[in-house]
Amino acid sequence: MNGPGPLGAFLRARRTRLRPEDVGLRDLGPRRRVAGLRREELAQLAGVSVSYYARLEQGLSRGASAEVLDAIARALLLDEHEREHLERLAVAARHAPRVRRPRPEKLADETRDLLRAVDGVPAVVLGRRTDVLAWNPLGHALLAGHLDFLGPNDPARRPNMSRMLFLDPHCRELYADWRRKVRAVVGNLRIAVGRHPQDSLLAELIGELTMSSPEFVALWRDHRVAACEAASYELHHPVVGTVTVTQQTLSIARSPDQLLIVCTTTADSPSEEALALLGQASGNRAVYAGGVGVPGRSLSSP
């Protein structure tokens, strides 16, 4: 193996974030020369030999039992999402990689019907690489009205939500707390990479963002793992002004790698009124097909 690999990189990143006092160890003071815990300290906490743990972190050992992984997870104080991520990385490290280009994701008819039924609420269906597979008119108008409404229908032109947030000035300015939003996106991408380590298109997306965005590089190096479940964001929309929405992520049973994102507002709030105005301003589907506001460059998937 060349380098520590995803498993080793994740272990090292989590280890360096822990302080001795976090796990009940004495800090040796200013002469301590490493960030976070030493390997020997982590190995002691997990009850494994220092050489074994070092080989695991260096990518020189592919095997780790469930008991060992559980002990390391406890020593690193991993939460539920981080534990699942660690287990996926360990499974991936045991198997030889299979290089094949994945097929474009498809939207099931049932999912399209579900999206059509979500009326009056902004909604978007994302694939496992955060490609926009579909959006309803209000979801398009709220989050990316400057892009072609029909773009998701063509796999070669599909917008990608991660790419949009980091590289599209419109989407970057949309979120009042942009850094909080992209931290959540990067944490979710970490989960996707753990689940699909051989996905070449996902790897290409990570590579593109690494080359194009210093902010992405800093966040990606942190190895933070977090699922995007529900969070409230203040949006500065170019048509209706300030809107506060709760973006909720719902799993799609028939397509487990796809997610339905819905944006809700508090009842009888100014934000609810703003969304109603946005729906009126956007008009019918023909208007959406032409884009809302000034048409922009489509940030499509490679």
Phi, psi of 199 (to 5 degrees): -75, 105
* Average of per-residue pLDDT across 85-100: 73
More confident residue, 241 or 13: 241
Which residues are paired to 248 by β-bridges?
230, 262
pLDDT at 234 over 50: yes
Given this model, what pLDDT does residue 296 score? 35
Given this model, what pLDDT does residue 302 score? 39
Given this model, what pLDDT does residue 205 score? 92
Given this model, what pLDDT does residue 1 score? 42
Given this model, what pLDDT does residue 2 score? 52
CB 97 within 8 A of CB 197: yes
More confident residue, 19 or 186: 186
pLDDT at 34 over 90: no
Phi, psi of 159 (to 5 degrees): -65, 155
What domains lie within the chain, and their CATH numbers?
5-94 (1.10.260.40), 109-290 (3.30.450.180)
pLDDT at 190 over 50: yes
Given this model, what pLDDT does residue 66 score? 83
Q: How confident is the model at residue 173 (pLDDT cuts 50, 70, 90)?
A: very high
pLDDT at 48 over 50: yes
More confident residue, 5 or 173: 173
pLDDT in tens, 178-189: 999 999 999 989
The vertex-176 CA angle with 13 and 260, nearest 5°, equals 70
Buried residues in 210-222 as b, exposed as e (16+ CB within 10 A) = eeebebbeebbee
Percentage of the chain modeled with pLDDT above 90: 42
DSSP state letter for 98:
-
Lowest mean pLDDT among 146-150, 161-165, 220-224, 269-273: 220-224
Given this model, what pLDDT does residue 288 score? 35
H or E element, residue 124: strand 123-126
Lowest mean pLDDT among 46-55, 93-102, 178-187: 93-102
Given this model, what pLDDT does residue 301 score? 41
pLDDT at 139 over 70: yes
pLDDT at 292 over 50: no
Given this model, what pLDDT does residue 290 score? 36
Give whichever of 12-16, 82-86, 151-155, 286-290 has the largest mean pLDDT. 151-155
Query: What is the Cα 301 distance to its own chain's centre?
Result: 16
Pairing of strands 230-237, 123-126: unpaired
* Average of per-residue pLDDT across 113-121: 89
pLDDT at 42 over 80: yes
Q: How far apart are CA 66 and CA 34, in angstroms?
A: 28
Q: How far apart are CA 174 and CA 211, in angstroms?
A: 23
